[in-house]
């Protein structure tokens, strides 16, 4: 028997949330003033929660490790945000968005959560527009939409290639308003290093002031973890340099179960790695696949010649090119979901067809789109016969209007003109579907400790659809948590301020201090990045796009060895009580070194392939992922016991009432 209770309300799927809200306990405004809430993180999830909770009257203490809440990693999201508005009249609905999300997640998400997400999605757009978020508009003055990630309806709202920025700045301005009023106390450059539990309830955190280095205690009646995803366990990813698992991992070690850690999303279109010195990877928006065609040479010899610089992609004739996605998946072609596109690129490169010096890149070619658009223009302009040059020039203009900023970004990084020669792309770690286990209320297995946004596991199953993370972060913070947390806090109206002199605070702070002192005293010879890079390589090679039992077992042993080496040979310069970015990094990497092991263990346990998790042992004859619903239609929630490899598995069975489980087929 599992001890997990997902607390899904009874009733019809489409009534659950509204009837739940009708019956929930409330906290009256006078009492809200006596209640403190800590929110760790100021991205879309934490920023929206902080603003909404402060507006309601709670005292919020918000934390981020950057120098301003506006810099959370959500700022980097490019493509857009989904919402079931059906403004385009193309048949979208709450049910369809719900259905697409469950299916896209390869049937490994909880129906009730996803339905609620789809239900509140429309309010998100209303709220953001009211805040002054400048979404793209049509000439008539109404909001524009685009189709994204191969979805059959146009439900994605966007602001050029900077949707995340505009949404985050909206949440940040709502926060700023409450900061000005004193309802949010903002703690910039503060990093949460542990959770304080008093009488079985989350009552505070220990944070390090990153400017002075001092450890500080903060108390509250509830703690919300909105610290983002853990993709940086791979070292190279599209996440920001500081993105980390520490806050989530620390609550895990204090009793919160960690769910589906092996579900990672590898995004197919990123700029390939250029050398060893590289510190991060850059995403090229998925929208490019609407117009770009992906290919590698048909002949190994040609690939080799390209790698060695003896040939250029434009030297290779149409007949000599392998448009492998169009070949393998005629129905969806270049628009297959992310996991499928990523694996197909890896398959070609592993077979020796890769096209840059490292052998790990494929082409994303806009030549046919440019020509097609150019010919359309010529027809529209009634120009009659036009030279190829004119056609290509006109087409280039069209492509520039659509993707100009992305092409510019590519040019700055790679120093090649993607209008003239195909882009090179390769999959990269992008998003983590796994995270802290939460129930329907977004509460973890620690009473009074919540997790929202990418930090939790709840809505995307084994694979996230494009433009759905932004939706989830804002849904959690603006429209879900403010209700569910009240139900819990209704018991706390008489508790009064929680003292940070309680022994639990003293003890937790002492533990954190001991951990930091231990790191500082190692005084070894290798830098923190040295270990992080090695961990990343193990993860990428064995716990990346394709996994097998042998590799995973190997990874577990290697990570354990690496962790030991880290604790005997890492060198952290500087002092504890000063601005010390190397110590900040070390605090994060020691948690990645434990998380990596749990990811491998989870991947080893799940002998099926589903979504972003591909077990080589579980594939069809054509090499497609093979799910096993009979044995694996469950959430794997891990309990910490002292060693990641000895974590205890708890299963939350997934029950599907509305959605029929079928094989995802994109052929």
Partner 1 sequence: MKLTLKIWRQSGPNDKGQIVTYPIDNIEGDMSFLDMMDVLNEELIVKGEDPVAFDHDCREGICGMCSLFINGEAHGPDRAITTCQLHMRKFSDGETIYIEPWRAKAFPVIKDLVVDRGALDRVMASGGFVSVNTSGNTVDANAIPISKIDADKAFEAATCIGCGACVASCVNASAMLFVSAKVSQLALLPQGKVEATERVLNMVRTMDEEGFGNCTNTGACAVECPKEISLDNIARMNREYFKAMLTSE
Ligand X SMILES: Cc1cc2nc3c(=O)[nH]c(=O)nc-3n(C[C@H](O)[C@H](O)[C@H](O)COP(=O)(O)OP(=O)(O)OC[C@H]3O[C@@H](n4cnc5c(N)ncnc54)[C@H](O)[C@@H]3O)c2cc1C
Q: How many angstroms separate the Cα of 593 from the Cα of each of 244, 528, 533, 555? A: 12, 11, 11, 11
Using the contact rule CB under 8 A, the part of the chain among 369-377, 490-498, 576-584, 617-625 near partner 1 is: 576-584
Report which secondary-structure segment, H or E, holds 187: strand 184-187
SS (H, E, C) 630-646: HHHCEEEEEECCCCHHH
Nearest residue relative to ligand X (C-beta): 43
Q: Using the rule CB under 8 A, which residue among 26, 413, 510, 661 binds partner 1? A: 413
Token pair belonging to 419: 């209008």
Cα separation of 647 and 252, whole Å?
Answer: 11
Confirm or reject binding of residue 111 to ligand X (CB under 6 A). Answer: no
Confirm or reject binding of residue 100 to ligand X (CB under 6 A). Answer: no
Q: Using the rule CB under 6 A, which residue among 354, 473, 536, 551 binds ligand X? A: 473
Using the contact rule CB under 8 A, the part of the chain among 343-351, 367-375, 524-532, 630-638 near partner 1 is: 524-532
Confirm or reject binding of residue 264 to ligand X (CB under 6 A). Answer: no
Cα separation of 285 and 432, whole Å?
Answer: 17
Q: Using the rule CB under 6 A, which residue among 86, 243, 356, 444 binds ligand X? A: 243
HSE (side-chain half, CA atoms, 13 Å) at 578 = 7
Cα separation of 106 and 451, whole Å?
Answer: 23
Cα separation of 40 and 192, whole Å?
Answer: 7
Confirm or reject binding of residue 62 to ligand X (CB under 6 A). Answer: no
Confirm or reject binding of residue 570 to ligand X (CB under 6 A). Answer: no
Q: Using the rule CB under 6 A, which residue among 6, 34, 50, 74 binds ligand X? A: 74
Q: Binding pattern to partner 1, positions 119-138, x when CB under 8 A?
A: -x--x-xxxxxxxx-xxxxx
Footprint (CB under 6 A) of ligand X, residues 9-48? 40-46
Confirm or reject binding of residue 454 to ligand X (CB under 6 A). Answer: yes
Q: Which is nearer to partner 1, 173 or 500 (CB)?
A: 173
Using the contact rule CB under 8 A, the part of the chain among 174-182, 379-387, 492-500, 656-664 near partner 1 is: 174-182
Q: Using the rule CB under 8 A, which residue among 38, 62, 75, 438 binds partner 1? A: 75
Q: Which is nearer to partner 1, 55 or 639 (CB)?
A: 55
The candidate with the shortest Cα–Cα distance to 413, out of 242, 315, 279, 241, is 279
Q: Which listed option, ligand X, partner 1, none, makes contact with residue 396 (CB within 5 to 8 Å by class)?
A: none
Q: How many angstroms separate the Cα of 563 from the Cα of each of 135, 543, 549, 558, 644? A: 46, 17, 21, 9, 12
Confirm or reject binding of residue 64 to ligand X (CB under 6 A). Answer: yes
Q: Which is nearer to ligand X, 237 or 618 (CB)?
A: 237
Confirm or reject binding of residue 337 to ligand X (CB under 6 A). Answer: no
DSSP class of residue 581 equals H
Q: Using the rule CB under 8 A, which residue among 29, 89, 140, 309 binds partner 1? A: 140
Shortest CB 200 distance to ligand X, Å: 23
Q: Using the rule CB under 6 A, which residue among 58, 99, 107, 431 binds ligand X? A: 431
Q: Which is nearer to partner 1, 525 or 665 (CB)?
A: 525
Helices (H), 70-226: 94-104, 111-131, 163-181
Footprint (CB under 8 A) of partner 1, residues 595-654? none
Task: Find the catalytic residue in 307, 328, 338, 547.
Answer: 338
CA angle 364, 421, 77 (to 5 degrees): 45
Helices (H), 415-479: 469-474
8 Å CB contact between 249 and 69? no
Q: How many angstroms separate the Cα of 576 from the Cα of each of 513, 548, 653? A: 9, 42, 45
Cα separation of 444 and 447, whole Å?
Answer: 7
What is the three-class DSSP state of 344?
helix
- Is residue 338 part of the annotated active site? The answer reads yes
Q: Which listed option, partner 1, ligand X, none, makes contact with residue 468 (CB within 5 to 8 Å by class)?
A: ligand X
Q: Using the rule CB under 8 A, which residue among 209, 216, 253, 280 binds partner 1? A: 280
Cα separation of 523 and 516, whole Å?
Answer: 12
Confirm or reject binding of residue 283 to ligand X (CB under 6 A). Answer: yes
| Helix 528-542 / helix 549-569 crossing angle, nearest 10 deg | 180
Q: Binding pattern to ligand X, positions 77-96, x when CB under 6 A?
A: xxxxx---------------
Q: Using the rule CB under 8 A, which residue among 418, 422, 482, 551 binds partner 1? A: 482
Using the contact rule CB under 6 A, the part of the chain among 223-231, 513-521, 522-530, 615-623 near ligand X is: 223-231
**DSSP code string of 556-568:** HHHHHHHHHHHHH
Cα separation of 85 and 514, whole Å?
Answer: 52
Cα separation of 321 and 296, whole Å?
Answer: 6
Q: Which listed option, ligand X, partner 1, none, makes contact with residue 387 (CB within 5 to 8 Å by class)?
A: none
Shortest CB 48 distance to partner 1, Å: 8
Confirm or reject binding of residue 240 to partner 1 (CB under 8 A). Answer: yes
Confirm or reject binding of residue 428 to ligand X (CB under 6 A). Answer: no
Enumerate binding residues for ligand X (CB under 6 A).
40-46, 63-66, 72-74, 76-81, 163-164, 191-192, 226-229, 238-239, 243-244, 246-247, 283, 430-431, 453-455, 467-470, 473
Catalytic residues: 338
């Amino acid at each position: 028997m599992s001890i997990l209770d997902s607390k899904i309300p009874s009733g019809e799927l489409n009534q659950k949330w509204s009837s739940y809200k009708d019956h929930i306990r409330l906290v009256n405004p006078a009492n809200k003033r006596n209640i403190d809430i800590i929110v760790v993180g100021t991205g879309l999830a934490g920023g929206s929660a902080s603003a909404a909770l402060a507006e309601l009257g709670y005292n919020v203490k918000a934390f981020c490790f950057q120098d301003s809440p506006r810099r959370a990693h959500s700022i980097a999201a490019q493509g857009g945000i989904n919402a079931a508005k059906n403004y385009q009249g193309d048949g979208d609905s709450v049910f369809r968005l719900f259905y697409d999300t469950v299916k896209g997640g390869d049937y490994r998400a909880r129906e009730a959560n996803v339905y609620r997400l789809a239900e509140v999605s429309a309010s998100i757009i209303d709220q953001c527009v009211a805040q002054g978020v400048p979404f793209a508009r049509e000439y008539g003055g109404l909001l524009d939409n685009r189709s994204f990630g191969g979805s059959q309806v146009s439900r994605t709202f966007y602001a050029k290639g900077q949707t995340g920025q505009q949404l985050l700045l909206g949440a940040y301005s709502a926060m700023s308003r409450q900061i000005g009023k004193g309802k949010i106390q903002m703690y910039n450059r503060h990093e949460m290093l542990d959770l304080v539990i008093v009488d079985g309830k989350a009552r505070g955190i220990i944070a390090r002031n990153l400017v002075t280095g001092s450890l500080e205690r903060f108390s509250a009646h509830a703690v919300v973890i909105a610290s983002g995803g853990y993709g940086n366990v791979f070292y190279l990813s599209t996440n920001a340099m500081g993105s980390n698992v520490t806050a989530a991992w620390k609550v895990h070690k204090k009793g919160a179960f960690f769910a589906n850690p092996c579900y990672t999303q590898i995004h197919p279109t990123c700029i390939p790695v250029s050398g060893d010195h590289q510190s991060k990877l850059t995403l090229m928006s998925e929208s490019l696949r609407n117009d770009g065609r992906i290919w590698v040479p048909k002949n190994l010899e040609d690939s080799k010649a390209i790698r060695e610089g003896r040939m250029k992609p434009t030297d290779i004739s149409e007949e000599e090119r392998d448009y492998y996605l169009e070949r393998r998946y005629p129905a969806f072609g270049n628009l297959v979901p992310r996991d499928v596109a990523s694996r197909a690129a890896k398959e070609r490169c592993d077979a020796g067809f890769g096209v840059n010096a490292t052998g790990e890149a494929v082409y994303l070619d806009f030549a046919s789109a440019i020509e097609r658009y150019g010919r359309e223009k010529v027809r529209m302009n009634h120009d009659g016969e036009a030279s190829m040059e004119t056609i290509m020039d006109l087409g280039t203009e069209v492509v520039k209007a659509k993707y100009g900023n992305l092409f510019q970004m590519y040019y700055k990084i790679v120093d090649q003109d993607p209008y003239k020669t195909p882009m090179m792309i390769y999959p990269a770690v992008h998003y983590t579907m796994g995270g802290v286990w939460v129930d329907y209320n977004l509460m973890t297995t620690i009473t009074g400790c919540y997790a929202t946004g990418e930090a939790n596991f709840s809505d995307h199953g084994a694979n996230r659809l494009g433009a759905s993370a932004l939706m989830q972060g804002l849904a959690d913070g603006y429209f879900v948590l403010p209700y569910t947390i009240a139900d819990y806090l209704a018991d706390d109206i008489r508790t009064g301020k929680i003292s940070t002199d309680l022994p639990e605070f003293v003890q937790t702070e002492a533990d954190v201090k001991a951990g930091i002192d231990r790191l500082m005293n190692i005084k070894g010879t290798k830098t923190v990045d040295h270990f992080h890079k090695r961990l990343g390589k193990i993860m990428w090679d064995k716990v990346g796009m394709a996994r097998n039992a042998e590799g995973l077992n190997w990874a577990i042993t290697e990570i354990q060895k690496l962790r030991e080496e880290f604790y005997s040979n890492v060198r952290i310069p500087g002092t504890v009580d000063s601005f010390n970015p190397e110590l900040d990094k070390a605090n994060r990497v020691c948690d990645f070194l434990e998380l990596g092991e749990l990811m491998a263990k989870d991947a080893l346990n799940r002998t099926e392939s589903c979504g972003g998790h591909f077990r080589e042992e579980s594939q069809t004859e054509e090499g497609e992922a093979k799910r096993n619903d009979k044995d694996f239609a469950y959430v794997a929630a891990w309990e910490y016991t002292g060693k990641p490899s000895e974590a205890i598995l708890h299963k939350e069975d997934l029950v599907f009432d509305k959605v029929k489980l079928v094989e995802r087929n994109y052929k």
